[in-house]
Structure 1
Amino acid sequence: MADLVLSTEQDVEDLAWGACFQGIGGGGPVAEGTRLLKKALAEYGPVRCQNPADFPDDAWVVTVSFMGNRAPLTPEQEEQKKRLGLVEWKYDNNLAEALKFLEKVTGRVVSGIVPSELGGANSPGPLSVALSLGLTPLDGDYTGKAKPETRQGMPSIAGVPLTPMASADKWGNKCVIYEAVNNALGERLGKMLATGAFGNTAVAYFLIPGREMKKHIFAGTLTESFELGRAMRLAREAGRDVTPVVLERLGGRVLFRGVLARKEWSVPDGYYVGTHEFEGEGEFAGHRYKVWFKNENHVTWFDGRPHVTTPDRVGQILTDTGLPVMTQELAEGQRVTLIGVPSRARHREPDALAFMAPRHYGFDIDYVPMERVAP
């Protein structure tokens, strides 16, 4: 597998938009990811994402990502921020600050970075950190899509501790969760820090040697996302529907096309949770589709009956623009195309299903592969 090299702002855009679709509604906003990586590219030059197989077994590698949610703040929360003096950022790239703080706390010297997941911010963001700190970014991620819970990453499913985990927000606050009794509680504590910072922090975690990283990484997913984003852009520029491009590259099928008729959401425990209800148009006229999300899309219903569910992927594209869109960016009245993509094989193994299938989220629904539900 050849190394992925990003050398232009267009390359950054293509990676971010491809990863945004793969983030199935989550993974952070494209605007944040492209801002960070374009700035690093201008300062430090091209970024080369190394084939994970070529990374030294004994060198230390870490994951950096944003933790929290992107739900809009209420006027009361905005006022509270001002009262606490949170007006200007101290850190433009708090991902880098979290990594440096983890090195300081542990005494380890990090050599490589693996994105935690695929998404508009959580894929390009770590690459910006690698450029700015002179580290090696690896072509892959630990999830193969985006996920709401850090413990749903492959290292955690295999039993790798989340801690020590360093947290840094943009205001200048730094904390470390040195040890947690389990990864679920470690993430809960991290989410509390994000909630205290009004929605979002950066965290550095899964500090492991290269030989361990190679057991858990989905190799080549950044290249996959970059090529997807580029192909989608070329289709848009030619005035073509991007849907066939996605289906050709990732497989799957169109699940629904329609208008977002109803949106409900809340932010329990720091997660963006709710439902989108769509009214069909075109070949789906007269039908309804419902999506339950927890940051990302996880459970769907076609005319009230369970349809495609996690760990299979339900991506969403704005029909009028051909651009992927995050769950919190969707608004009532928008026309949306929902695309189902089969899960990666690793996600269908029993230990992964225990953390990813609908029952993990409290639904009395068994996982059925989408090839059987939506052939």
Structure 2
Amino acid sequence: MSYTLEREDLADLARGAALLGTGGGGDPYIGRLLVEQALREGDGKITVLDPSDLRDDDLVIPTAQMGAPTVVVEKIPHGDEPVAALRALEERLGRRADATMPIECGGINSMIPLLVAARTGLPVVDADGMGRAFPELQMETFSVYGVPGSPLAIGGENGETVIIDTGADNKRMEWLARGVTIRLGGVAHIAEYAMSGAEVRRTAVPNTLTLGLRIGRALRTARERHGDFIEALAGALEGSGYDNIRVLFRGKVVDVERRTVGGFARGHATFAAFDGPERLELTFQNENLVARVDGEVRCVVPDLICVLEAETGEPITTEGLRYGQRAVVVGISTPELMRTPEALAVFGPRAFGLDVEFEPVERLVSP
């Protein structure tokens, strides 16, 4: 069912998106501020459109930010770049969009389509192509199930626009777009994976904006009531397709090694247990990819690995990890759409160069 997203919903959505971003996807706080500004300047509301409400021949153009999250913290967008990318792609296609949509539901990219909606009046489809956040553009359920990402439009901070068209080769599209983004200063905005309403229903992970909003509200309410935020999170996830949650570790950050390389934030973080000798190591590429406790895998991509502040339940992004933080690390199962052999070939462990086979978190860790 479609609904209106109000300005007061944004803080909860940003919190939920930070969790679904699995440490990456860019800081949703910055995106939230951009959307709030656009709403103040416009009519103050955004329509969130259920995928079932799309007509088969509607044109949906997803919009997003691309680049290393560590750069976004220092290079805040003006706010008109994603609209410029959308208009450039519309011109290339010879048709106006009927709606926009996230390519990922995590981090700042839950907010960029809302920014576009606030500035253009387009509705935002309540779905996305990752069900979380991934670092590369071909890592989409859209791509897995046959939608080409090209042509892709890139908008830069100084008014530049670039069109990249690699046909059905989405991996080469990512490679070329990453190079352009690096030369635009490490962050840019994009419009890609233009598709029909029928293709959205066939390939997208549905209702993930609503899920992010529900997660954010649950975490906030648990904090305000001094409740158990893990229990609240489990309740918010129930029936969503993200049905299994496991506590992987409770401890303190004792080391962070992080570099911005090739347009990505790459590195490792080590946590020491509060009440024992165990250590957890996270490996990340923008997003958390694998969590190992004393060398044993406890959760691996595409399942979600989320770091939460131990006292408040606030999600911590990879660029926000700091020595001494007290945290709870949780693993969350992804929908079956993201666990098929076809999907794992695109965004499973091997796609990131990890020498690990995918094993569902609910099998790796007991309840």
- 2:334 is aligned to 343
Task: Classify the secondary structure of the residue corresponding to 1:267.
Answer: strand
Of the three residues 298, 304, 308, the one matched with 2:295 is 304
- 1:82 is aligned to none
Within-5 A mapping of 1:1-375: 2-7=1-6, 9-42=7-40, 43-72=42-71, 91-179=78-166, 182-250=169-237, 251-282=244-275, 285-375=276-366
TM-aligned CA deviation for residue 181 of structure 1: 6.7
- 1:83 is aligned to none
Measure, in 2, the Cα distance between the counterparts of 1:88 and 1:38.
15
CA contact (8 A) 2:23 2:306 kept: yes
Measure, in 1, the Cα distance between the counterparts of 2:329 and 2:174.
30
Task: Classify the secondary structure of the residue corresponding to 2:194.
Answer: strand
The one-character-per-residue Cα deviations of 1:237-291 (angstroms, maximum 9, x if unpaired) are 2233422211222231211111111111223321111111111114xx2210011
**Greater mean alpha carbon deviation, residues 35-44 or residues 257-266:** 35-44
CA contact (8 A) 2:2 2:53 kept: no
TM-aligned CA deviation for residue 322 of structure 1: 2.3
**Greater mean alpha carbon deviation, residues 46-55 or residues 259-268:** 259-268
TM-aligned CA deviation for residue 88 of structure 1: 10
CA contact (8 A) 2:71 2:187 kept: no
CA contact (8 A) 2:100 2:117 kept: yes
TM-score (norm 1): 0.91
Q: How many residues align?
A: 359
The one-character-per-residue Cα deviations of 1:105-136 (angstroms, maximum 9, x if unpaired) are 22121111110111231112201212321212
Measure, in 1, the Cα distance between the counterparts of 2:216 and 2:298.
27
Task: Classify the secondary structure of the residue corresponding to 1:365.
Answer: coil
Measure, in 2, the Cα distance between the counterparts of 1:216 and 1:114.
13
Measure, in 2, the Cα distance between the counterparts of 1:293 and 1:164.
29
Measure, in 1, the Cα distance between the counterparts of 2:344 and 2:224.
39
CA contact (8 A) 1:25 1:295 kept: yes
**Superposition CA RMSD, Å:** 2.0
Task: Classify the secondary structure of the residue corresponding to 1:206.
Answer: coil
Letter in 2 for 1:147: F
Percent identical residues: 33
The one-character-per-residue Cα deviations of 1:283-327 (angstroms, maximum 9, x if unpaired) are xx2210011111111111111122211111111112243211211
Task: Classify the secondary structure of the residue corresponding to 2:69.
Answer: coil
TM-aligned CA deviation for residue 222 of structure 1: 0.9
Task: Classify the secondary structure of the residue corresponding to 1:156.
Answer: helix
Task: Classify the secondary structure of the residue corresponding to 1:259.
Answer: strand
TM-aligned CA deviation for residue 171 of structure 1: 2.6
CA contact (8 A) 1:88 1:171 kept: no
TM-aligned CA deviation for residue 103 of structure 1: 1.1
Measure, in 1, the Cα distance between the counterparts of 2:180 and 2:289.
25
TM-score (norm 2): 0.93
TM-aligned CA deviation for residue 345 of structure 1: 0.8
CA 1:324/1:300 → structure 2, altered by over 3 Å: closer, same or farther? same
Measure, in 2, the Cα distance between the counterparts of 1:115 and 1:181.
20
Q: Which runs of 5+ in 2 are unaligned?
A: 238-243
Task: Classify the secondary structure of the residue corresponding to 1:16.
Answer: helix
Task: Classify the secondary structure of the residue corresponding to 1:71.
Answer: helix
Task: Classify the secondary structure of the residue corresponding to 2:249.
Answer: strand
CA 1:57/1:72 → structure 2, altered by over 3 Å: closer, same or farther? closer
Q: Runs of 4 or more off by more than 3 Å in structure 1?
A: none
Measure, in 1, the Cα distance between the counterparts of 2:150 and 2:177.
10
Measure, in 2, the Cα distance between the counterparts of 1:268 and 1:310.
20
Q: Which runs of 5+ in 1 are unaligned?
A: 79-86
CA contact (8 A) 2:246 2:361 kept: no
TM-aligned CA deviation for residue 374 of structure 1: 0.4
TM-aligned CA deviation for residue 200 of structure 1: 0.6
TM-aligned CA deviation for residue 180 of structure 1: 5.2
